[in-house]
Amino acid sequence: MRLDLADLRLFLCVVDAGSITAGAARANLALASASERLRAIETDAGVELLQRHPRGVTPTEAGDALAHHARLILQQRSRLRDELQDFAQGARGTLHLYANTAALTDFLPPRLAPWLAERPKLRVELKERTSIEIVRAVSAGLAEAGIVSDAVAADGLHLQPVARDHLVLIAPPKHRLARHTSVAFADVLGEAFIALADGNALQEHINLQAQDAGRALAARVHMKTFEGLCAMVGHGVGIAVVPQAQARRFRRAHGYQVVALRDDWARRHLCLCFAQWKSLSPAMRSLLLHLGAVAPPH
């Protein structure tokens, strides 16, 4: 059969109205045109679909079957249209967002939650990477956008600051460094460190800074969480570098001292990173605006 959606709509209009004249009016067709299309539908089906009476029409058994399937087809078409509209408006699908450790730990959770709660059909996959890796992925077109530190070079990309993210040193209360208000990272590399677990994006960034200073970080133990790391420092096991927000969060519980780092790379801000605003998906544009982005002028 060569039925199209317009044929199915017309047939349903006629069946529901019980009249070709009334059905044609519902379908916004002239009576002659509607009658001709109905005859063509029956010819194509090879079976009578409507019983014609002086006061109207009733569907045959075959007509009832066609009407049933026509309703299913049109309902499915409506659902498909709604789903595609959701995709177009950024309310459905899967969004991949790259972020460094600090963004995933402190910045994103309270901000992402209300935005995502309003979009129950949308999934977000968060991918933890170092800021350098995120910049490379966005530059290469492998990622739409990410959240990075402004300490990295991002030539050709847009960086929009959205939060302060300074790194600080934490030291046990009786440690010699606890008496300092600020230190240079290179000057403390001989100390025993508590580090985050291997593969952690922030720890990889700290390790790179140690290498740039000409020394490897001497880690006594690697912890999976900031809370565990801070507990180790509080017990005098070693010192550590953490985001300022994390240092403040666990200081009362573990009693360590917070010392500022003089290094430029430690005085950083979290930034939204993307290439071209117009090339972002509707969902990504919506999320970045929610996180504090300013759409570049056209």
CATH number at 206 reads 3.40.190.10
**How many domains does the structure of the chain reveal?**
3
Query: Do residues 246 and 193 both lie within one domain?
Result: yes
Quick check: is 296 in a domain?
A: no
Closest among 126, 123, 136 to 100, alpha carbons compared: 126
Query: Do residues 34 and 46 both lie within one domain?
Result: yes
Query: Do residues 202 and 278 both lie within one domain?
Result: no
Query: Do residues 188 and 109 both lie within one domain?
Result: no
Query: Do residues 61 and 119 both lie within one domain?
Result: no
Quick check: is 138 in a domain?
A: yes
Query: Do residues 189 and 262 both lie within one domain?
Result: yes
In sequence order, which residues have a C-beta less than 8 Å from that of residue 267 and are 6 or more positions away? Answer: 166, 261
- Read off the pLDDT of each residue in 29-45 and give the average, rounded to a whole number: 87
Query: Do residues 204 and 256 both lie within one domain?
Result: yes
Query: Do residues 160 and 273 both lie within one domain?
Result: yes
Task: Give SS3 for 172.
Answer: coil
Query: Do residues 257 and 223 both lie within one domain?
Result: yes
What is the SS3 string spanning 1-63?
A: CCCCHHHHHHHHHHHHHCCHHHHHHHCCCCHHHHHHHHHHHHHHHCCCCEEEECCEEEECHHH
Predicted local distance difference test score (pLDDT) of residue 83:
60
- Read off the pLDDT of each residue in 62-81 and give the average, rounded to a whole number: 81
**Residue 105 and residue 224: Cα distance in Å, rounded?**
12
Query: Do residues 40 and 182 both lie within one domain?
Result: no
Quick check: is 190 in a domain?
A: yes
Number of helices (H), then strands (E), in the chain:
11, 13
Predicted local distance difference test score (pLDDT) of residue 7:
82
- Where a domain ends, among 25, 54, 88? 88
Quick check: is 176 in a domain?
A: yes
On the question of pLDDT at 87 being above 60, the answer is no
In sequence order, which residues have a C-beta less than 8 Å from that of residue 202 and are 6 or more positions away? Answer: 100, 101, 102, 130, 196, 243
Mean pLDDT across the chain: 89
CATH number at 24 reads 1.10.10.10
- Where a domain ends, among 88, 111, 137? 88
Query: Do residues 54 and 178 both lie within one domain?
Result: no
- Read off the pLDDT of each residue in 141-155 and give the average, rounded to a whole number: 90
On the question of pLDDT at 23 being above 70, the answer is yes
pLDDT level of residue 289 (50, 70, 90 thresholds): very high
Q: Which domain holds residue 107?
A: 93-164+269-291
Query: Do residues 238 and 283 both lie within one domain?
Result: no
Tokens of 12: 């349903």
Quick check: is 174 in a domain?
A: yes
On the question of pLDDT at 91 being above 60, the answer is no
Quick check: is 41 in a domain?
A: yes
Quick check: is 298 in a domain?
A: no
**Phi and psi for 197 in degrees, rounded to 5?**
-60, 150
- Read off the pLDDT of each residue in 58-69 and give the average, rounded to a whole number: 88
Per-position DSSP letters for 100-144, written without gaps between them: -HHIIIIIHHHHHHHHHHT-TTEEEEEEE--HHHHHHHHHTTS-S
- Kindly state the percentage of the chain with pLDDT values over 70: 95
On the question of pLDDT at 185 being above 90, the answer is yes
On the question of pLDDT at 201 being above 80, the answer is no
Quick check: is 297 in a domain?
A: no
- Read off the pLDDT of each residue in 171-192 and give the average, rounded to a whole number: 95
